[in-house]
């Protein structure tokens, strides 16, 4: 089969590789009909995540048709059309029983990413995401083996196009978890750092949940302009404004700051030259730029919600400010499985239309070009989706509104 494989930093290509086969009794083989490139794939692509090996197949946002099932699979059958959560969870361990699927302690054969780990088992295995997370081959491919198929695959109605439901695999639940973790509801104020796919869908979710004021910080004018047009955010370009948190606070009631803030940037945040140098020398794990801004922008008693991926340590972490403000931090990989029925309902009723953020529809054969365009933010790229073989995705007209508010 054809699959997108890694060959060193900034080098990926579509190769012919062996077809996947059933290995465990609760596996399925999925024929992929649509897959997407995620900001998390960019961390791998740039060579920033350890334990990524030459030949690894990337991709953790994908959906398709069940082709084959192992003897213990009861939840789906050949021919079913399903979206696959990027988190591989068993459904029955201590954490899965609490719906903390990303913490599943039975699926990851890798080490996990905690530095000061002690005896703690690693969190869930992830598709196409480094051997720290199990080294499970990903879905930017024609076929993929899906383990734990009685827990993950989520059936979607045939009436909805692939691109309307594809983002249930990751970025829509990630945005939804981020915004609900931030405590956003009717009349809330929120600041979202990062106007990539996760930030954009966080704005969509915040609107749906009734947020009154949504600030968005980035430095790509085209992304900010899109978010302003589509979700009515107040855009702030950090290339022009070196202290967005100050600008945000001055526009909130009583100059208190926003109720909640979402860091949809993560450890590769741009901004601090010192941290960039220290991170390159491996004396610093992550850039704390976005996180410091988040801590500064939020009101006392507010929530800093972090879907952006962080790794290791940050020296410039203003813990004293967080203490003084009495902040809550919520973060981590998304517990995808728990949100899917609710989010599918929102897509079906038109309250969420995540597909509007797609800017590039390409074939799997063009995946390497897709990575480069998305990484370099060329051609006003917001989100790339790929289709293997000649399965075609219908093209909607223009950008359209991402959210149709209910009455």
Ligand X SMILES: NC(=O)c1ccc[n+]([C@@H]2O[C@H](COP(=O)([O-])OP(=O)(O)OC[C@H]3O[C@@H](n4cnc5c(N)ncnc54)[C@H](O)[C@@H]3O)[C@@H](O)[C@H]2O)c1
Q: Which residues bind ligand X (CB under 6 A)?
A: 38-40, 42-43, 170-171, 174, 193-199, 217-220, 223, 238, 264-266, 269-271, 289-290, 307-309, 333-334
Q: Residue 34 or residue 265: which is nearer to ligand X going by CB?
A: 265
Find the angle CA(107)-CA(37)-CA(240) to the nearest 5 degrees: 120
Q: Residue 148 or residue 223: which is nearer to ligand X going by CB?
A: 223
96, interface contact from Zn ion, ligand X, none, CB < 5-8 Å by kind: Zn ion
> Minimum CB separation from ligand X for residue 45, in Å?
10
93 binds Zn ion (CB under 5 A): yes
Instruction: Show the tokens assigned to 262.
Output: 């979402």
Helix 197-208 vs helix 221-231: crossing angle, to nearest 10? 20
> Minimum CB separation from ligand X for residue 69, in Å?
27
Residues 85 and 121: their CA atoms lie apart, in Å, by: 21
298, interface contact from Zn ion, ligand X, none, CB < 5-8 Å by kind: none
Scanning 214-259, the segments in alpha helix (DSSP H) are 221-231, 244-250
Residue 320 phi/psi, 5-degree rounding, is -60, -40
CA 183 to chain centre: 19
Residues 127 and 37: their CA atoms lie apart, in Å, by: 13
Residues 403 and 230: their CA atoms lie apart, in Å, by: 8
Q: Which of residues 185-204 bind Zn ion (CB under 5 A)?
A: none
Residue 87 phi/psi, 5-degree rounding, is -90, 125
163 binds Zn ion (CB under 5 A): no
Query: CB under 5 A: which stretch of 10-18, 87-95, 187-195, 259-267 binds Zn ion?
Result: 87-95
Q: Residue 297 or residue 344: which is nearer to ligand X going by CB?
A: 297
**Kind of pairing, strands 61-69 and 81-84?**
antiparallel
**What DSSP assignment string belongs to 316-345?**
---HHHHHHHT-EEEESS--GGGGHHHHHH
Q: Residue 299 or residue 335: which is nearer to Zn ion going by CB?
A: 335
385 binds Zn ion (CB under 5 A): no
> Minimum CB separation from ligand X for residue 42, in Å?
5
38 binds Zn ion (CB under 5 A): yes
> Minimum CB separation from Zn ion for residue 39, in Å?
7
Q: Residue 237 or residue 366: which is nearer to ligand X going by CB?
A: 237
> Minimum CB separation from ligand X for residue 62, in Å?
14
90, interface contact from Zn ion, ligand X, none, CB < 5-8 Å by kind: Zn ion
Residues 15 and 141: their CA atoms lie apart, in Å, by: 9
279 touches 315 (CB < 8 A):
no
> Minimum CB separation from ligand X for residue 41, in Å?
8
Q: Residue 69 or residue 107: which is nearer to ligand X going by CB?
A: 107
Q: How many helices (H) and strands (E) does the chain have?
A: 11, 17
Residues 353 and 400: their CA atoms lie apart, in Å, by: 9
Q: Residue 88 or residue 298: which is nearer to Zn ion going by CB?
A: 88
> Minimum CB separation from ligand X for residue 261, in Å?
11
Residue among 313, 357, 306 at smallest CA distance from 332: 306
40 binds Zn ion (CB under 5 A): yes
Coil/strand/helix, residue 190:
strand
Residue among 144, 161, 241, 227 at smallest CA distance from 192: 227
Contact with Zn ion (CB under 5 A): which of 56, 163, 170, 268? 170
> Minimum CB separation from ligand X for residue 154, in Å?
16
Contact with Zn ion (CB under 5 A): which of 4, 22, 90, 297? 90
Q: Residue 142 or residue 170: which is nearer to Zn ion going by CB?
A: 170
202 touches 192 (CB < 8 A):
yes
Q: Residue 137 or residue 194: which is nearer to ligand X going by CB?
A: 194
Residues near Zn ion (CB under 5 A) are: 38, 40, 89-90, 93, 96, 104, 106, 170
């Amino acid at each position: 089969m054809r699959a997108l494989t890694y060959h060193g930093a900034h080098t990926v290509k579509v190769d012919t590789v062996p077809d996947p086969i059933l290995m465990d009794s609760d596996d399925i083989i999925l024929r992929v009909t649509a897959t997407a490139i995620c900001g998390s794939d960019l961390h791998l692509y740039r060579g920033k995540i350890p334990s990524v090996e030459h030949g690894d197949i990337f991709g953790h946002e994908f959906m398709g048709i069940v082709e084959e099932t192992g003897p213990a699979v009861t939840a789906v059958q050949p021919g079913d059309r399903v979206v696959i959560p990027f988190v591989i969870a068993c459904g029955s361990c201590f954490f899965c029983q609490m719906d903390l699927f990303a913490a599943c302690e039975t699926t990851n054969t890798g080490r996990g990413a905690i530095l000061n780990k002690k005896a703690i088992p690693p969190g869930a295995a992830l598709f196409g995401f480094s051997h720290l997370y199990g080294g499970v081959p990903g879905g930017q491919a024609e076929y993929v083996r899906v383990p734990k198929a009685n827990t993950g695959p989520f059936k979607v109605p045939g009436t909805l196009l692939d691109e309307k439901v594809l983002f249930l695999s990751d970025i829509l639940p990630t945005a939804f978890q981020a915004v609900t973790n931030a405590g956003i509801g009717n009349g809330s104020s929120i600041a979202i750092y990062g106007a990539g796919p996760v930030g954009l869908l966080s704005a969509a979710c915040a609107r749906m949940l009734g947020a009154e004021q949504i600030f968005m910080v980035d430095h790509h004018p085209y992304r900010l302009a899109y978010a302003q047009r589509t979700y009515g955010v107040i855009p702030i370009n950090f290339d022009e404004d070196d202290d967005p948190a100050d600008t945000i606070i001055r526009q909130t009631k009583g100059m208190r700051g926003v109720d909640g803030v979402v860091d949809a940037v993560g450890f590769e945040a741009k901004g601090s030259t010192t941290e960039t140098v220290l991170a390159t020398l491996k004396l610093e794990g992550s850039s704390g730029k976005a996180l410091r801004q988040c801590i500064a922008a939020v009101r006392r008693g507010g929530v800093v919600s972090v879907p952006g991926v962080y790794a290791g340590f940050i020296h410039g972490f203003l813990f004293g400010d967080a203490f003084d403000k009495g902040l809550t931090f919520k973060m981590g990989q998304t517990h995808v499985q728990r949100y899917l029925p609710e989010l599918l309902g929102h897509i079906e009723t038109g309250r969420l239309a995540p597909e509007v953020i797609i800017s590039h529809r390409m074939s799997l054969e063009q995946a390497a070009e897709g990575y480069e365009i998305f990484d370099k933010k060329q051609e006003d790229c917001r989100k790339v989706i790929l289709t293997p073989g000649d399965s075609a995705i219908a093209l909607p007209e223009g950008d359209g509104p991402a959210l149709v508010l209910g009455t």
